[in-house]
Structure 1
């Protein structure tokens, strides 16, 4: 891939306050975070990294956990549409295991991968079999493999996709959710857009990015779905990064406008991609 230009300069608002640049790659229509820190794991060490917690103490945590419950129900409905007789699911980046618990309660055979030790331990305590690395998952063929806001974190992007493809049934389904840097809220907040989340997010995708990237691994996008809540949540964080205040009304307005514009363009704040083997 050849970099065309520097698209934007961003800041790590969560941990270090360091500056990073987003470089645009024309071949894939993708943004790439530069430089990638050698000690990347240190950038996840924050009590504010909300996806690794089950707590609901602050207002933001309460909002997150409430939305998560609704999202879990919708995720279950989605995977049930693509099930076959095996009902086996691998969730990569399973966090504290809530999605796999929901699936297990509905007769799915579950397995998780989670690199974060604290989150993985929480998942294991809930009796979810969880590995640290995808390489530990052996020859099982899964009906469904999911990555909910995980793809953007993976260092070895193509290597991991190749491994995922090898673990997927011939008639299996891969489901991926990622932020969309071509959304209205991304364009509005620019360097303050919370879903850039540099340097934890290494890659930043468009719809073309996903299609181009996965076609190389013989995986085809068969359906694209919106994640309506993400525009509100991301706008809330973005307002705080931009102004130092939560600004709930402004965030709600921007999230609403993002979804409204996306009804015409299809460019929602985050998108779910359903892929199958070509």
Structure 2
């Protein structure tokens, strides 16, 4: 594996970095990876990390559900079952924000299930997915060409809504992607970014076993403050944020399994519920949908 080491914070550029946590890749390699924290802005990121030539090998698992509609196991069965419910909620959300249908670009569209739901509701859809296997499935499902890279998209063609559902944490070049998002979004458009929140109660409880650290696939680990700061540098303003209630339960199931070596549904439910109840006052849900617009 070839790695690269960042010497400055990807969000604020500070070189003042400290060790935050060492986590294990439970999905593929069983290797340990370090998460560092910027002492200036508190942004956390995996460092060192696999370089662009090596990162692909860490996605090669049948258990990686966003790239595989047939992942086996009870937890993945629950994930797919809940996903059918949450897809409807996501489409309702973008309809409400956009005051009806329009054009949508889903970045990191996986196998295309979200775009399929949008298309059925009247949206003009476009997707981007770097993984070749998932891209092929999405293209066949949607009967549409799916882009491989953001650089393929013409900045003169703009979208009413752009979505990244648990994608930004995987992106190596944050500034380049944020700049491109701003280019592709209509002036009155809406950008929705869903990412895990590493100051949620379940993240604090599970520590290095928290499944949403998901090293090394997750290169960046956001909080409400750090994602707001990143997007503000590209003149994108946070207008609202919405909880993803089910994520705390799914993450708790995986985290308990990583820590104990077995699934414990009762504890997972309790910890997921505790996390959501704690977040009612703080807003620090396990995963959050951030809604941005042009400044």
Which structure 2 residues correspond to residues 151-190 of structure 1 after superposition, within 5 A? 151-190=168-207
Residue 166 of structure 2 corresponds to which residue in structure 1?
149
- With normalisation by structure 1, the TM-score equals 0.97
* Alignment partner of 2:267 out of 247, 250, 256: 250
Q: Deviations over 1:64-93 (max 9, x none)?
A: 111101110110011001226770000000
**Preserved CA contact (<8 Å) 2:25 2:215:** yes
1:17 deviation in Å? 1.2
Match of 1:134 among 130, 134, 150: 150
Contact 1:97 1:128 (8 Å CA) reproduced: no
Taking the aligned partners of 1:82 and 1:231, their CA distance within structure 2 comes to 25
Contact 1:101–1:128 at 8 Å: present in 2 too?
no
Out of 19-28 and 263-272, give the one that drifted further. Answer: 19-28
Task: Answer yes or no: is the 8 Å Cα contact 1:258–1:269 preserved in 2.
Answer: yes
Shift of 1:56: 6.2
1:257-276 alignment runs, 5 A limit: 257-276=274-293
Q: Is the 8 A contact 2:189 2:294 kept in 1?
A: yes
RMSD of the alignment, in Å? 1.2
The list of structure 1 runs, each at least 4 consecutive aligned residues, that deviate by more than 6 angstroms after superposition, is none
Q: Residues 67 and 140 from structure 1, CA distance in 2 versus in 1: closer, same or farther, beyond 3 angstroms?
A: same
Instruction: Report how far residue 27 of structure 1 moved.
Output: 3.6
Once the two structures are superposed, what CA deviation does each residue of 1:214-255 show, in whole Å capped at 9, x if it has no partner?
000000000011000000000000011000001111111110
What does residue 3 of structure 1 align with?
Answer: 16
For the residues of structure 2 that align with 1:214 and 1:57, how far apart are their CA atoms? Answer: 37
- Please list every run of 5 or more consecutive structure 1 residues that lacks an aligned counterpart in the other structure: none
Q: Distance in 2 between matches of 1:213 and 1:175?
A: 14
TM-fit CA distance, 1:57: 4.4
Q: Equivalents in 1 of 2:229, 2:35: separation in Å?
A: 19
Number of the residue aligned with 2:81: 66
User: Conserved in 2, the CA contact under 8 Å of 1:28 and 1:213?
Assistant: no
How many residues align structurally? 278
Please point out which of 104, 108, 115 is paired with 2:119.
104
Tell me the residue number matched to 1:118.
Answer: 133
Contact 1:110 1:129 in 2 (8 A): no
Q: List gaps (5 residues or longer) in structure 2.
A: 1-13
CA distance in 2, matches of 1:21, 1:54: 30
**Higher deviation after alignment, 213-222 or 58-67:** 58-67
8 A Cα contact 1:84 1:143, kept in partner: no
Q: Return the alpha-carbon distance in structure 2 between the equivalents of residues 173 and 28 of structure 1.
A: 26
